[in-house]
Amino acid sequence: MKQIDIAIVGGGPAGLTAAIYAARERLNTVVIDEYAGGQILQADIVDNYPALPSITGEELGEAFRSHAEEKGAEFLECAVTAIEKNGDSFALKVFDGVEESDLQAKSVIYAAGCQHRHLNIPGEERLTGHGVSYCASCDAAFYPDKAVAVIGGGNTALAEALLLSRVAKNVYLIHRRDTFRASADIVETVRNTENIQLIMDTIPLEITGEQSVETLQLQHKITGKQFTLLVDGIFVAVGMLPDTKVISHLADIDEGGYVIADETGVTSCAGLFAAGDIRTKQFRQVVTAAADGANCVKSAEQYLQKR
């Protein structure tokens, strides 16, 4: 079995940047992901990536992949189901949707990203795809002149509300605290958007509907009063869960499930490097993910030279 120098798990900005840098160094590299591009493909507009203002997420994600392909990076459209360390090497099990196979790698850059956190309330799972969504840029077009709710209080939730405000008639922004965790500029924009109504100190209890979403049951945390919103769609934006299950037995993980690693990407497991949203960091953005990918290749090079 051919052993590759670097197996990059994850095809988002972190993984694709790593692929670009690794390919430039003529390292035998494979990017493993079911579809390269990552969650950036779901973003409507990316307005903070240097030199590319107002580029769509799809355009930016495709540009990352095209650059990696031009440099000679290889891609394997599979899910990674297991990673084990055997001596100085790593054994990866990958699944292409039909059958499972094995790969051997001298080092691994893990950049699998995060998954959407769910509310875990009645009706959410049953109505996902039928009015419950986790991506406004994917599904906003289905709600022209309709009423929708966004649940969350961070930058993502407020950005989703603003996007939906350009399509929907009414947008209810529901947050369980009395203040937002988002940046001041986006909070100000939301507060000044006429068709966004803020509902604070409130938690969701249940989503109802027969074939699609019809109502959202809510409760005010302070008064305990329960009330109902008539909505056509519900957008959940309450955070992310790092996808670190397949490496949790190899590297140190913090209480939030993130891989403990600094800007070098070096983890507690020699030869395993962490990049992007899955590692402990202050700021999770495309630009910091790209930086992680480049740093991880540098760290992997140093590891391979010593090995």
- Among 78, 114, 135, 269, the active-site one is 135
DSSP E strands: which ranges in 221-304? Answer: 226-230, 233-236, 240-242, 272-274
Measured CA to CA, the distance from residue 114 to residue 100 in angstroms comes to 23
Concatenated DSSP letters of 78-117 = -EEEEEEEETTEEEEEEE-SS-EEEEEEEEEEE---EEEP
Active site residue 138: yes
- Among 33, 139, 277, 292, the active-site one is 139
Residues in the chain: 307
The catalytic site residues sit at 135, 138-139
